Structure 1
Amino acid sequence: MIANNQQRKQVVIVAMSGNTLLNFAGPADVFTSANNCLGASGSEAGYDVLIASPTMDKRVSSSTGMEIVCQYCAMEIKTPIDTLIIAGNDFQMLRKPEYKDFYQWLSFLSENQTRRIGSVCGGAFSLAEAGLLNGKKATTHWQLSERLKKEYPLVDVDATAFYTSDGHIYTSGGVSSGIDLALALVEEDHGKDIAIQVARKLVFYLSRPGFQVQFGNLLPVYESSNIAEKLHNWFNENLHEPLDVASIADHLNMSPRNFTRVFHKQTGLPPAKFIEKLRVETARKYLEDTDMPLDCIAEKCGLGGLVSMRRTFLRHLMTTPSDYRRAFRTSLKVAGVGDILQSNLHYPN
């Protein structure tokens, strides 16, 4: 449902310390651009956008070293807040005493007071700390999703989405996903035509294709003592082979049963699932950095034929190999230096 678009709405974006500037600047630019588009159409509706700090000193330090002095502290705003967005979180400040008043203020906000409450990236941790995500579906940056699940088990975490909504609570993933969320909110308020105009103005998708999972690594980085790291080179040299448990255990002079037990304990994954993810990770690099035909990539990575590789990509990355290549192939290719870069790459035979 599109809200009454003749009434100006107050949008408060709380910039948390240690942030990437885009966490709050991106959504702010979306709402202010919407004002321009609405004004050009003869509408007096739009947004009054305020950037606020979570602390009374009104100072926010960014990850770039720049210090921002806000005109407002969030708790001092007495006029009705239509949309509140918590932008980012550096975690060092998450539970420090100076944030206590902010979380208390946040926890007391109701849907009657604030029509929409949202977050960008690590801002989901602020909402969770205030208890606003309990029993709610939410997302955050893909690198932080496991941490959010562990620290706030009452939150239903979706690590794949660019943004989510559950009742009046909205959350978005990594940095630029704040723009996705803000565009969705503009569309909710003023319709698709205005939202499209804003997206075009910012040279951005109205609805970005794909999912956050496409940006993350399927496998974590393991310590050198981990069995997966010890097998890393051998795996890469033999990805085109079946790599069943018996052959891997034989390579390590271990029994299949003992190898499976040790591998699962140290990596958190059964050997078959780990190897499938490794095959996809390796195929991603070929797709990003080379012009190698898809069937050759499938063969080199042990992913079977094209149909099998497509199914595996859809299962793990929610996209097809060809679509992934179009979205993530090296930008240097366009500049004409991709062939040089490719000639210096070394891949397992």
Structure 2
Amino acid sequence: MPTYSVPKLRHLSQRVRSPKRIVIVTNAASDSLEYIGLLQVFAEVRFFLRESGYAQAYSVEIVSRGTGQIYACEGLSISTTTSYAELGDTVDTLILQAADDRDECLNDTDFISWIAQMSTRVRRIVSICTGAFILAEAGVLDGRQATTHWAASEDFRSRYPNVRLTDNEIFTKDGHVYTSAGVTAGMDLALALVEEDLGPELARRVAQAMVVFFKRPGDQSQFNALGNPGPETAHLHPIEVHIRENLDGDLRLESLARRFGYSLRSFNRMFPKQFGLPPGQFIEQCRLDHARRLLEETDKPVSCIAAECGYASSEGLYQVFDRRLGIGPRDYRNRFSSSVQSTVLG
């Protein structure tokens, strides 16, 4: 097999006295990468510690609500042999995978009660993707900041209004409770846990070995599905249609109010009720949506895209991307444009 040559660790931030027990609780709804990715992060930790002559820092195991098959696809089958009910109390980090599609785990009162109890006994409790629904159902997230997959955020808010949900974060930490967005964000969070326990050098080495970001730039907003409508706009409010079709035109609030028969005061009062955002924020969102689509689907220069979206210069577009997405237009295009599309930096 190929021989890997890696430099040894110079030092660990904390001394490893005995392995910390990490338990991943999964079920049949979880994407396989949600636990395979985590297992690989901790396997790389084990590799680097062993190669550098350090004691092992973690013991990792996977359990489920029952036992048996939890994943089957294209000839691959994965099963668990241990139920959560067989675990003792000596767990350091408890990691919850995604909730199932039919809410079976959320309706399992014994399981939810166990989560609530364990949350007070472990050093930290973690959710991946819609595993945040499990933590919320158990009351663990009440009053706390949390995140989940961006596509499930609306449902989450309707179910758990006492949780301070953020749509944009890749992962969050509130006290000893950690939540993350979908699938690969679990690996981002796992790397953060390693850094927290054992320092940045080891976490960075693991990221390099896995060829992933040590700290991913940007946030979930980069990945949200675009709300920009296509040519079929008959179902949209006339004000929205006008804004989206005239992003490079006169969208001053006074002009919009006059065009649609409102006083400026009544227009500002009506707009958030109709569209969920103040008019200035809504217009910015429309411009951002259109810019993202052009960056993804065309090779237009950034300067032309900025003008088409109503910005006097590229600098205005850069400022919005940096503030809203955490990356610039060029980085966004490099990440999300078609692989066969030539990139024009403009």
Q: TM-score, normalised by structure 2?
A: 0.83
| Residue correspondence of structure 1 range 117-196 to structure 2 within 5 A | 117-196=125-204
Match for residue 276 of structure 2 among 260, 263, 268: 268
Partner of 2:18: 7
1:296-318 CA distances to partner (integer Å, 9 max, x unpaired)?
A: 11111112222222222233223
Looking at structure 2, the residues matched to 154 and 269 of structure 1 have their Cα atoms a distance apart, in angstroms, of 21
Looking at structure 2, the residues matched to 136 and 290 of structure 1 have their Cα atoms a distance apart, in angstroms, of 41
Q: Secondary structure at the match of 2:153?
A: helix
Match for residue 89 of structure 1 among 99, 110, 119: 99
| Residue correspondence of structure 1 range 1-349 to structure 2 within 5 A | 4-53=15-64, 55-61=65-71, 68-78=78-88, 80-94=90-104, 97=107, 99-111=108-120, 113-217=121-225, 219=227, 226-228=235-237, 235-244=243-252, 254-256=260-262, 264-333=272-341, 338=342
1:258-279 CA distances to partner (integer Å, 9 max, x unpaired)?
A: 8777765443234443222111
Q: TM-score, normalised by structure 1?
A: 0.82
Looking at structure 2, the residues matched to 14 and 221 of structure 1 have their Cα atoms a distance apart, in angstroms, of 39
Distance 1:167 1:260, change over 3 A: closer
**Structure 2 stretches of 5 or more lacking a match?**
1-11
- Conserved? CA contact 1:107–1:130, under 8 Å: yes
Looking at structure 1, the residues matched to 106 and 172 of structure 2 have their Cα atoms a distance apart, in angstroms, of 28
Deviation at 1:292, TM superposition (A): 2.4
Deviation at 1:221, TM superposition (A): 7.1
Looking at structure 2, the residues matched to 259 and 226 of structure 1 have their Cα atoms a distance apart, in angstroms, of 21
Looking at structure 2, the residues matched to 65 and 19 of structure 1 have their Cα atoms a distance apart, in angstroms, of 17
Q: Which moved more, 1:159-168 or 1:324-333?
A: 324-333
Q: Which moved more, 1:123-132 or 1:10-19?
A: 10-19
- Conserved? CA contact 2:14–2:197, under 8 Å: yes
Looking at structure 2, the residues matched to 298 and 47 of structure 1 have their Cα atoms a distance apart, in angstroms, of 49
- Conserved? CA contact 1:218–1:277, under 8 Å: no
Deviation at 1:68, TM superposition (A): 3.4
Q: Which moved more, 1:14-23 or 1:198-207?
A: 14-23
Looking at structure 2, the residues matched to 259 and 189 of structure 1 have their Cα atoms a distance apart, in angstroms, of 53
1:202-253 CA distances to partner (integer Å, 9 max, x unpaired)?
A: 111111111112211464879966434x6676555422212345665787xx
Partner letter of residue 39 of structure 1? Answer: R
Q: Secondary structure at the match of 1:213?
A: helix
Looking at structure 1, the residues matched to 157 and 148 of structure 2 have their Cα atoms a distance apart, in angstroms, of 10
Looking at structure 2, the residues matched to 281 and 227 of structure 1 have their Cα atoms a distance apart, in angstroms, of 16
**Structure 1 stretches of 5 or more lacking a match?**
343-349
Aligned residues: 330
Distance 1:132 1:78, change over 3 A: same
Distance 1:3 1:304, change over 3 A: same
- Conserved? CA contact 2:106–2:134, under 8 Å: no
Looking at structure 1, the residues matched to 270 and 233 of structure 2 have their Cα atoms a distance apart, in angstroms, of 15
Superposed CA RMSD: 3.1
- Conserved? CA contact 2:147–2:171, under 8 Å: yes
- Conserved? CA contact 1:52–1:72, under 8 Å: yes
- Conserved? CA contact 1:103–1:126, under 8 Å: yes
Q: Secondary structure at the match of 1:32?
A: helix
- Conserved? CA contact 1:94–1:126, under 8 Å: no
